[in-house]
Amino acid sequence: MSLFKKPSLSGLVRESPFVSIQEHMRTVFSCICLIPPLFDALYRKDLAQVHDFAAQIDQLETEADRIKTNFRLNTPKSLFLPVDREDLLDLIAVQDHLADTVEEIGQILCYRDMEVPEALKEVLDELLEGTMEISSEAKAIIEQLDELLEVGFNGLEVDKVSAMISGLRRDEHNIDAILHRLRRTMFTQEKELDPISVMFWYKLIDRLGSISDQAENIADRLLLFLSK
């Protein structure tokens, strides 16, 4: 009988770097969850709350950075996993970019006292709702990493995650349509606003739209894992 025990799958899971990736994504998602209350405070012109939510976002982004840095420093070069180390580093970088984008949105709203044009509110609310949905979908996909590992990235679990990725991509396409309507609405309001406010609003719209793009990038990284 061999004196050396082969490590069990459960042992590999306990040591899996997926744990840190999931922890990081939960922190990033906590950042994103502060976007709706941040804009609600903006709607109400409660600048103190705008700054408070922006500060909370900043704290969470700092925590996400800490997790990312620890992951980079402590993940071994050789992994007993069906995923390359470089692919995992790429995935956590994409997730971290989400937190950076949310932080930038909070900073923009702190740099300048922004007023929300009434004509923007309805479609802006659609974008915020869609942003939360697609971010939640991206988080749910990351939460499936443990299950994928348990089945060796094969079987019905792969089909389930592939379907989740397809659904996220459809939602990203829908958000693109919302963004188009929002930009068109913003165009109709340009004459009612000063040029600097127009510039900042387009920047905010672009940053909000970037969240859905990055969520799709996360899905694409998972699709890469499944195809190997």
Predicted pLDDT of residue 226 = 73
Concatenating the DSSP letter of every residue in 75-106 gives: S-SS-SSSS-HHHHHHHHHHHHHHHHHHHHHH
Rounded to 5 degrees, φ, ψ at 77 are -70, -30
Model confidence pLDDT, tens digit, residues 70-124:
998 887 766 566 677 888 899 999 999 999 999 999 999 999 888 899 999 999 9
- AA letter at 135: S
**Cβ neighbour number for residue 50 with a 10 Å cutoff:** 22
Find the mean pLDDT for residues 131-144.
95
3-class DSSP state of 15: coil
Q: How many helices (H) and strands (E) does the chain have?
A: 9, 0
Give the span between the Cα atoms of 107 and 56, in whole angstroms: 11
Give the span between the Cα atoms of 48 and 50, in whole angstroms: 5
Find the mean pLDDT for residues 170-193.
95
Which residue ranges make up each domain of the chain?
17-227
Question: 68, 129, 78, 143: which is closest to 98 by C-alpha?
Answer: 68
Six-digit token pair at 45?
């012109």
- Pair 37, 53: CB distance under 8 Å: yes
Give the span between the Cα atoms of 166 and 186, in whole angstroms: 30
Question: 217, 174, 204: which is closest to 109 by C-alpha?
Answer: 204
Q: What is the pTM of this model?
A: 0.88
Q: Determine whether domain 17-227 maps to CATH 1.20.58.220.
A: yes
Model confidence pLDDT, tens digit, residues 14-73:
457 788 999 999 999 999 999 999 999 999 999 999 999 999 999 999 999 999 999 988
